[in-house]
């Protein structure tokens, strides 16, 4: 079973562009090449400047290693500097392929 994270955040309107850029500019975590199966940033259409960051990982060991990485800590730091974290969840991922 895959595992993952969900981070819901609210970013100050004046920091929106910088926040989005932080996801584009940061280099990919080396362990992501073979272990990260899904990585997306979504914006809530009903709540501007509220974002959901979702990542799926191949197994718990890979996710836990990633949570200690500089990339992960930098993104969390950017969220806290530019807005606030509303919730952070570790999840189990049940995939269904169509």
* pLDDT beyond 80 at 96: no
Question: What is the H or E stretch that residue 48 is in?
Answer: none
Q: pLDDT (tens digit, 9 = 90+) per residue, 68-81?
A: 988 889 889 989 99
> Is 25 a residue whose pLDDT tops 90?
no
At residue 15, the pLDDT reads 96
Per-domain residue ranges of the chain: 2-93
Q: Which CATH class is domain 2-93?
A: alpha beta
Report d(CA 72, CA 32) in Å as an integer. 11
Q: Among positive and negative, which fits the CA dihedral 15, 20, 26, 29?
A: positive
pTM of the model: 0.86
More confident residue, 96 or 23: 23
Residue 29 — very low, low, confident or very high, per pLDDT cuts 50/70/90? low
Whether residue 98 has pLDDT greater than 60:
no
């Amino acid at each position: 079973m895959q595992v993952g994270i969900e981070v819901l955040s609210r970013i100050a309107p004046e920091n929106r562009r910088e926040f989005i850029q932080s996801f584009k500019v940061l280099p990919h975590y080396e362990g992501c090449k073979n272990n990260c199966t899904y990585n997306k940033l979504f914006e809530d259409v009903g709540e501007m400047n509220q974002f959901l960051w979702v990542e799926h990982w191949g197994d718990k060991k890979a996710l836990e290693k990633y949570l200690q990485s500089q990339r992960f800590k930098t993104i969390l730091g950017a969220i806290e500097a530019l807005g606030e974290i509303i919730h952070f969840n570790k999840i189990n991922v049940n995939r269904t392929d169509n």
